[in-house]
Structure 1
């Protein structure tokens, strides 16, 4: 009997969305239904901005510890600014994650209706150009995310612009992650097995490997995007909205092989969230006799996010 080749998350050309929107939507939706993940090339995020962002990320995390901690917002749930090493823990995990991170959120005008739910950004004095770089990257990822959501809407039989009202002024977050070198005998993983909270996550490829998704057969599948490509995955909010038609897949970042443990790992996931007042109510088209409604009671994205941040230790009860 011949061995069956290991499944791979497909690489999709997002450039085809303009010429064949239905075909791209079908390919993206099929990948999501199978893996909860996809990889996309030609996503439109400018290389120059990405390169500047990598340089800024490495420069910031290379600052002295006391300098970084000056930007930690105690009691803020990690919503903005700096979150120190070994703070976040995956739901149900026994070890904290081996990472530190920085959060950039949406810039709101003073007096905006979401001012109470969405904290203002925190900006470091160094490195120079940090604010301008990450506001530009945030905007580029926001635009790419809206295009991906349009394809998801088409796949679900909705109008292409269905998600626009949901994510207008959404509480999205750009996370700059640093996983420092780890000892050879470290018992933790860099990021424990978890699911994302949001609608979709857009992840620019990291130099160091380690991202794995949990297959339906219980095995772990490495996800290795080629240079310039982006990993996209379904979050719990979209899973709930689609009654699990699009699954939010468990994933993790494992410790590297012993010969790579002396190297840091950096990544920049963009967590695309709805607006705080968006009600997550099961889409009628996803409810069938074989797939009855799992969520009879809608919940606001703000309340759902708060529940989950408590679970992962960023907000205390």
Structure 2
């Protein structure tokens, strides 16, 4: 088979891993090669359910995309090269033509530039995003990105079909539901906002770190059902553990770091809790480096009403927790994502006890952990 000719892009050189002694979360590691058999899926479903009941985060290895060898014409390393193009290869003035309609439209598709969100004490974020819908034709792209769209499309399909869908089958099995229960809500050709985010975080001035208590993103839960983070070496992501302590997520080469979000909590009647996580200033030996991330945020099709799957034998046994008084009041995926997106970092929060802050979206309390 002839080799695939791909556009040349500058190689992104990842920062070295930290050598500092940090307190890491001890997360489960799921071997995705087992998804090829019914027995393997049954084993993984138990492991996933246990992970969701303890930490809420877990790793995936052997997902089918290797670090350096081409698989389905994709390479992990090259995906980071391509991700960097959206930032280093696009002039600032051109980015303004591709801004996401966040505040008014409740959509992250396109650029979120730095200093858009208020973090704390008047400090604004230093995080830039370029978000591409799973349907890469949904919006036009900057000039430097356009030749790379076939590879970006293949990467989106890999995340959605080869990682997300198998994961959703495991989540369904954990509730003793038919395997495709959640898959049928996440159609790749459906109308929705599942998207791949390229995220670039820049070091902040020392005075901002003091004002914001070294927090880059407050503790929060994600909007959608499943979040897939491609592990990268700058150590800044923390998870809130059951003992109330924040612990770091360790970098594992070519692994995926996975957590669930609000929408999975709604669909599972509270059985799968959304993971509370935050981003903080990296350790001392990494503070001069910028942090480049690849993340796939999965959401159901826009028209899915986020009500519990009450037919689940597990929920019938353990009970159903709702965040609303009646299922008629439950939001659709479209309403929930628009409400949360348009409010995050842009509205005043009601300060509660123990550092928790709150706002209300679609009648549902959304908490932030500072």
Which category of TM-score, normalised to the shorter sequence, fits these structures? 0.7 to 0.9
Does structure 1 residue 184 correspond to structure 2 residue 212?
no
Does structure 1 residue 277 correspond to structure 2 residue 300?
no
Unaligned runs of at least 5 residues, structure 1: 110-119
Please point out which of 45, 63, 69 is paired with 1:25.
45
Does structure 1 residue 307 correspond to structure 2 residue 320?
no
1:292–1:148 CA distance, 2 compared to 1 (3 A): closer
Task: State the TM-score, normalizing by the size of structure 2.
Answer: 0.74
Does structure 1 residue 132 correspond to structure 2 residue 150?
yes
**Where do 1:79-98 residues align within 5 Å?**
79-88=108-117, 95-98=123-126
Larger deviation, residues 240-249 vs 75-84: 75-84
- What's the counterpart of residue 56 of structure 2? 36
- 8 Å Cα contact 2:117/2:124 also seen in 1: yes
- What's the counterpart of residue 121 of structure 1? 139
Superimposed CA distance per residue, residues 136-179 of structure 1 (whole angstroms, 9 cap, x where no aligned partner):
11110001100100111111101111112211124201111000
CA shift, 1:214, in A, is 0.5
Determine the C-alpha separation between the residues in 2 that align with 1:88 and 1:50. Answer: 30
Residue 75 of structure 2 aligns to a residue whose secondary structure is helix
CA shift, 1:248, in A, is 0.5
Does structure 1 residue 264 correspond to structure 2 residue 290?
yes
Unaligned runs of at least 5 residues, structure 2: 1-22, 68-73, 348-360, 362-370
Determine the C-alpha separation between the residues in 2 that align with 1:292 and 1:156. Answer: 12
Determine the C-alpha separation between the residues in 1 that align with 2:122 and 2:276. Answer: 16
Does structure 1 residue 202 correspond to structure 2 residue 219?
no
Residue 186 of structure 1 aligns to a residue whose secondary structure is helix
- 8 Å Cα contact 1:138/1:174 also seen in 2: yes
Determine the C-alpha separation between the residues in 1 that align with 2:29 and 2:332. Answer: 33
- 8 Å Cα contact 1:182/1:261 also seen in 2: no
CA shift, 1:185, in A, is 3.6
Does structure 1 residue 245 correspond to structure 2 residue 245?
no
Determine the C-alpha separation between the residues in 1 that align with 2:318 and 2:36. Answer: 34
Superimposed CA distance per residue, residues 185-244 of structure 1 (whole angstroms, 9 cap, x where no aligned partner):
433433221110000001101221111100122100211141010001011000111122
Determine the C-alpha separation between the residues in 2 that align with 1:89 and 1:203. Answer: 24
- 8 Å Cα contact 1:184/1:258 also seen in 2: no
- What's the counterpart of residue 100 of structure 1? 128
Aligned length: 302
**Where do 1:65-80 residues align within 5 Å?**
65-74=92-101, 75-80=104-109
1:313–1:255 CA distance, 2 compared to 1 (3 A): closer
Task: State the TM-score, normalizing by the size of structure 1.
Answer: 0.86
CA shift, 1:55, in A, is 0.6
1:182–1:42 CA distance, 2 compared to 1 (3 A): same
User: What do you get for the CA RMSD once the two structures are aligned?
Assistant: 2.7
CA shift, 1:133, in A, is 2.2
CA shift, 1:279, in A, is 1.1
- 8 Å Cα contact 2:308/2:320 also seen in 1: no
Determine the C-alpha separation between the residues in 2 that align with 1:236 and 1:145. Answer: 16
CA shift, 1:261, in A, is 1.8
